[in-house]
Structure 1
C-alpha cells in the first residue's frame, strides 16, 4: 500500500475533508442563485486539491465513499451558515452507477439537515465516459423523483455533449470554462454560446457560465443573455462566502453612463400593467387567464417576493393542450414546467438604446414581451412591437435633426440638451469647437478632403467623450458643441486638440507637414502662409440660475470661442463669465421715446 492510498484511507476514516462554497449569481436579479460546494482534502496534504483527491479515490476504488462524505460535509455546512439559494453538489456518474453506492442516502442527509430537496442541485459532470447510459438515465430520474434539481457540469468538455443534454433533460447546464475564456475575442466561442442559449430556450434549461475571470467576458455574456454566472471575477470559493452583492454591482456598472440627460427615454415608460401569476399556478388556471382575455399573449411568473422567474406564452400553452393527452398531462402541472426560464428582464430605468442592443443580441421573436422590474420586483410587460416602434420613431426624429455628414445631433437636439439641464438646475459646461484655416484647406485639397476632416473631428470628439457624461452635437460646417456633465471638461478638450492635430496631418502632403503649413491666396488675391489645421475651443460653465434659455448659454460659448480664435495655434479659452450679457440699450431710442 503506497503513501497516497494510506493518506486517502486516513482522510475518509477521519472525515478530514472541508467544503469551500463559490456563489453562483443571477445577474438579472442581482442576487445569489446558489452555491457550488467544492470539496477539499486534508489541509496541507498532497490530496488537499480536488483533482488529486478524487483521482486517488477513483484509482483506489473509494470514490463512492468519498463523494458521500463530501456531500455530508457540504450539506451540514450549508445549513449551519444559513446560506441562501440552492446548493450545487458535484456527483460523478461513476459513483452514481457504483452498485455499492447507497440509494436514498442523499435525501436522508438533506432531510436530516432540515433542508428542502428542491434546494439541492445534483451536478453531473460531462467529463467522465459512461458505459451504461440507460442506467445513468434511470438513476437521474430517481433523483428527480425525490425532488432534486439536475444540472450538467462542464458542458462541452467531455464525451457525450448534446446527447447527454437531450437525454437527461437537465434544469441547468454549466458551460465549460474553455468556452468562457476570452470569449469576447473569439467568434467561434461567441457562436457556440449563442447556440447553447438557443437550445436552452427550446428545452427550458437555465444556462450557467462558469469560470468568468475578466470584465470583458462578463459583459459579453450579459449581452448574449446568459444571466447566471460564476467565477473568480465575481467571487472566489471560500469556507465562509460573502453574501454581499457589492462587488458584482461594481463590475456590472463600472464605466456605465448613468446619465440622467440621455436622449433615449427609460423603458419604464412603455411598461403595461399586466397581472402576474405565481410559480405555484397550475397550467389549467393559466390557460383560463388567457381564455378570459384574448388580447393577453404572455404572463409573467413571479415568486413569493414578486420577483420574475419566467414568462409563460399563450401559443406555447395552447400547443401543449392541443396535443393528445395534453390536458391530462399538464392540467395540474405548475406553470414553471412550461414557462420560458430565461426571458429578458430589465429595470425600469434602463435606457431604450441599451434595451435595443439587448433585443438585437437575443434575437427575440417579435411577438414576445420584455419583463420590466422596479427594484427587482415585477412592474409590468413591454411588448417588443411597442419597443421597436418607439425606437424607430426616436431614430426617425433623430435623423430629421441630425447633421447629414456626421449624423450627430444638430441644433434642435443641442438646444434641447441645454434646456434639459437648465430646467433641472443641473450644472454643466459647454464647449464650442471650431476648425481654424478650414476654408483655405478646403480650397486647396478639395471638398471631399474637407468633408473627411470634419468627420475626423466628429469621430475624435465622440471617442474622447465616450467614457464621460457628454452630449456631442454638430451645429453645421466645421462647428461642434459638447455638453459636459462632469468636471473633466478642460482635460477632455485638451485631449480633443491633441488627437485631432496628430490625426489631421494625414490629410496634408509630407511637404506641407514638414513646413508646418502652405502658401495660399486670400480673398484679396494676396499670397499668405496658412498653418496646418488647428482647433479653437471656447469653454463656459453657465450659471443655471441666471441663464433662462439655451440661446443665452450658446451666446456665452460663442464669445468664448471668439476669444480662442485670436490665437494662431490651437487654443482652449476657458471663460470665467457665467451669466448672460446685459441687453444693450441704444440711448437714441430712449431719447426718441422720451420725446
Structure 2
C-alpha cells in the first residue's frame, strides 16, 4: 500500500491514536497540562507523525487530518478526565485553508463538555505564512472563543520574533535545539536569558520542550523558565500521569522551598470564602446577586464539577445593563457571554511571591480578584490589592533585616530558613564561611577595599550556588552562611574557595601576590608575615531528630568553622558530629555536701 492509499484509509476509518505528554509547571510543582500528539496505525507506513502529516500536506488533506486529530484529542482528554490544559497542534496552513470548516472547534468543545479556557492552540512556527493578516484574524477568532494561543518551536522557523510580536501568544514553546545541552553552551544560555526577558516584558509564559537531561532542567529552572516538557519528565503515553508523585518531585529535586521569602506565605492564607455561580446562570440572576450584596465586586463562574471557568465583574455587568438595549439583549443569556474567560486561577498552596509575579507580568487590573482552587475545584477569591500588600510587607520585613552591604538576608532570615527546614523535616546542610586574615587586609588596604572583598565573597557564593537549591545569608562582617538543600554541598564549598581565591588576588599588589602575602604589625607591635586572603568553611549536616532549633544548628556550624580556621590555607572542614552537644553542668562541691542545688 502506498502512503497516499494509507492516508485515505486512515482518514476514512479515523485510525488515529492520541498520546499525551505532560507539561510540568516547576514553579507550582504540578502539571500545567498535556500536549496531544497524534500517531498513525501501529506498524504502518504512516505511524510516525512526521510521515503522516507530510503525506496529508502532499495530498492536500491536511485540514481533514488535523480536524480528525483534534476531535480524537479532545475526546480522549475528557474521557480520561485529565487535569489542566489541553495543548493541540494546529498548522497555519490549516487555519488559512478556505475549505477548513469554521466553528468545528467550538462544536467539539460543546460536544465533549470541555471548557474553552482549558484549551491551548499551538501554532507551529516552522510553516511559512504569506497572509499574516488573515492568520491574525483566525487567531483572534479562537481568542474570542476563550482559547489560549501558543507558538510552537520558537526559533526553528521563518518569522520567530515577528510572529511573537504580532500574535501576542499566551505561551511560547522553545525549539528543542536551544534546550539540548543548553547547560554546556554559553550561546544557548544567553539566548534563553533573552527569551525569558522578552517573555516578562510581554506577559508570555515560556515552555521548554525536549528536555532529556537533569542538567538541562536544572539550568532552565534557574533561568526562570517555569514550564518544562520532555522525555526526562515523562514520555508521551496513552494514559499519562495525572499528578506529580512525591517520588518524581524528589527525583528532580523540585520539592521544598528555595528561599525564606518563598516559604513564608501561601496564597491560601488570603482566600475569601465567597459563593460562586454556575456557567448556566442567567445574567439577570447574576445582576440580582450583585444587587443583594453591594460588597461583591466579582463572582466566580464554575462548571458542574465546581471547576472555575471564568470571573464575572460587577462593573462590566452593570455597564452592559445600563445601555439602552443591554437588559433586553443579555438578561436571559448565560453569564458566559460576559464573564472574563481568562482570569488568573491559582492553587491554594501556591507561594505568594509566585502569584504576585503572575499578576504583574500579565498586568491584571488591581481592582480585580483572582480565583483560588483546592485540587482543581473552586475554593474562594482573593483581592489583588491584598496579595500585593502582603507581598510588599513581607519584602519590607526581609529588607529590614538584610545586610546593607550585600543586601543578602541577615540573621533573622537565616534563622527562619533553618527553622522552616527543621519543622518540615527537610534534610539540609549548613556551611559557615569566614574570611581569614581579613583584619590585616582591611588595615593595610583600607575599608573600601575591605567592603569590596566582602561583596566579592557574596558574589562568588551566589554565582556558585545559582544552579542549586540553596539559601545564601550574610551574618555580618566577613561571615556568611549557606543552606544547601541538595547533596552537592561539599563540591559547592570547594568551588566557592576556588572562585574566591582566584578573584581576590586582584585586590593585592603584584608584589604581594608574588610573595604570597605581606608583612604587617600585629596587636603586640611585632612584625609578622600575613598570607593572602583565604576562606575557612565549616560544613554540617544536622540530625533532624535531635536538633530542635536554629541555634543548635548554627552552633554546630560555628564549631566546624573554628576547626577549619586552625589551618593556614583555605580549608573546608566537614563535621561528622550531627547532634548538639550535651551541656556540661558544674557542681559546687560545698553545696553538694550540703545537699544544695547544682551551681
Q: Is the 2:504–2:533 contact (alpha carbons within 8 Å) kept by the matching residues of 1?
A: yes
The residue correspondences of 1:235-250 to structure 2 (distance < 5 A) are 241-245=238-242
**TM alignment of 1:485-524, pairs within 5 A:** 485-524=485-524
Work out the CA distance in 1 between the residues paired with 2:172 and 2:571. Answer: 53
1:294 Cα shift?
Answer: 1.7
**Whole-angstrom CA distance in 1 between matches of 2:349 and 2:164:** 30
The CA deviation string for residues 526-554 of structure 1, in whole angstroms up to 9 with x for no partner, is 43322221111223344555555544443
Q: CA deviation at 1:454?
A: 0.9
Pairing 1:195–2:168 present: yes
User: Distance between the aligned counterparts of 1:141 and 1:303, measured in 2?
Assistant: 22
Hey, what does 2:567 align to over in structure 1?
567
Shift of 1:487: 4.7
Tell me by how many angstroms 1:588 deviates.
8.2
State the Cα distance separating 1:12 from its structure 2 match: 3.5
For 2:422 and 2:545, the matched residues in 1 are separated by 8
- Cα distance in 2 between the residues matched to 1:284 and 1:21: 42
Larger Rg computed on CA atoms: 1
Q: When the two structures are superposed, what TM-score results if normalisation uses the length of structure 1?
A: 0.73
Give the structure 1 partner of residue 45 of structure 2.
44
The residue number in structure 2 matching 1:140 is: 102
Matches within 5 A, 1:198-237: 214=179, 234=229
Question: How many angstroms apart in 1 are the aligned matches of 2:55 and 2:88?
Answer: 20
1:42-96 superposed Cα distances (whole Å, 9 cap, x missing partner): 94389982454234334xxxx5xx865886698689869985479xxxxxxxxxx
- Report 1:119-134 matches (<5 A): 126-127=92-93
Q: Structure 1: give runs of 5+ residues left out of the alignment.
A: 87-119, 198-206
Q: Which residue of 1 aligns with 2:257?
A: 259
CA contact 1:19–1:239 (8 Å) conserved in 2: no
- Say if 2:20 and 2:237, in contact at 8 Å, map to a contact too: no
Taking the aligned partners of 1:442 and 1:497, their CA distance within structure 2 comes to 20
Change (3 A) 1:210 1:314: farther
Equivalences, count: 537
Assess, with a 3 A threshold, how the Cα gap between structure 1 residues 226 and 57 changes in structure 2: closer, same or farther.
same
Give SS of 1:460's match. Answer: helix
Whole-angstrom distance in 1 between the partners of 2:526 and 2:160: 58
CA contact (8 A) 2:7 2:52 kept: no
Which residue of 123, 126, 140 corresponds with 1:154?
Answer: 123
CA distance in 1, matches of 2:472, 2:236: 50
Deviation at 1:493, TM superposition (A): 2.4
Distance 1:417 1:79 in 2: 46
- Residues 474 and 210 (structure 1 numbering): CA distance in 2 closer, same or farther, change over 3 Å? closer
Q: Partner residue of 2:55? A: 53
Q: RMSD between aligned alpha carbons?
A: 4.9
Summarize the alignment of residues 169-568 of structure 1 with structure 2, pairs less than 5 Å apart: 169-172=144-147, 174-177=149-152, 179=154, 188=161, 192=165, 195-197=168-170, 214=179, 234=229, 241-245=238-242, 254=252, 256=254, 258-259=256-257, 262-263=260-261, 264-421=264-421, 428-543=428-543, 549-568=549-568
Task: Give the deviation of 1:299 after TM superposition.
Answer: 1.9
Query: How many angstroms apart in 1 are the aligned matches of 2:424 and 2:245?
Result: 31
What runs of 5+ residues in structure 2 fail to find an aligned partner?
Answer: 183-191, 212-228
Instruction: Tell me if structure 2 keeps the 8 A contact 1:540–1:574.
Output: yes
- Contact 1:210 1:230 (8 Å CA) reproduced: yes
Provide the C-alpha distance between the structure 2 equivalents of 1:274 and 1:445, rounded to a whole number of angstroms: 64
Task: State the distance in 2 between where 1:321 and 1:572 align.
Answer: 72
> Deviation of residue 477 (structure 1)?
0.4
Q: Give the structure-2-normalised TM-score.
A: 0.72
Distance 1:544 1:252 in 2: 18
Cα distance change on mapping 1:462 and 1:593 into 2, 3 Å? farther
Residue in structure 2 matched with residue 204 of structure 1 by the alignment = none
CA distance in 2, matches of 1:257, 1:179: 29
Question: Relative to structure 1, is the Cα distance of residues 170 and 122 closer, same or farther in structure 2, using a 3 angstrom cutoff?
Answer: farther
Deviation, 1:460, is 2.5
